[in-house]
């Protein structure tokens, strides 16, 4: 499983058919590697920059569950970036408002 993870986290060696196999093992109840494959997918989902491969995963994956995995990666990236942006905007607005209120009322 370590070799598979290494190939999937290396941008030059990224292999969508290998990802298809990993996802298939995760959903195969008879697979002896099911737990390890699930753990690998969870780790893969948290790899920085994986969201940049989401489009290739959704376009080129043969397994619909792999396409859904690509969609989940993209969804998580959007939510994370949105939360960071929202928090940043809130902080900026708060500082601006406090500066304005302080300068007007003092």
pLDDT digits (tens, 9 = 90+) for 21-64: 999 999 999 989 999 999 999 999 888 888 899 999 999 999 99
pTM of this structure: 0.73
For residue 71, what pLDDT is reported?
A: 92
**Is it the case that residue 81 has pLDDT exceeding 60?**
yes
Average pLDDT rounded to a whole number, residues 60-78: 92
Provide the mean pLDDT of the chain: 81
The domains of the chain are located at 2-105
Average pLDDT rounded to a whole number, residues 81-89: 63
What is the C-alpha to C-alpha distance for residues 103 and 106, in angstroms, rounded to an integer?
6
Give the 3-state DSSP-derived string for 37-76, with helices as H, strands as E and coil as C.
HHHHHHHHHCCCCHHHHHHHHHHHCCCHHHHHHHHHHHHH
For residue 13, what pLDDT is reported?
A: 77
Least confident of 4-8, 32-36, 70-74: 4-8
Structure confidence at residue 8 as a pLDDT band (50, 70, 90): confident
């Amino acid at each position: 499983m370590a070799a598979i993870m290494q190939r999937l986290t290396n941008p030059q060696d990224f292999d969508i058919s290998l990802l298809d196999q990993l996802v298939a093992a995760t959903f195969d109840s008879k697979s002896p590697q099911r737990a390890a494959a699930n753990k690998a997918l969870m780790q893969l989902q948290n790899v920085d920059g994986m969201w940049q491969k989401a489009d290739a995963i959704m376009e080129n994956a043969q397994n619909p569950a792999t396409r859904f995995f690509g969609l989940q990666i993209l969804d998580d990236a959007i939510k994370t970036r949105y939360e960071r942006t929202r928090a940043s905007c809130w902080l900026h607005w708060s500082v601006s408002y406090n500066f304005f209120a302080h300068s007007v009322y003092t």
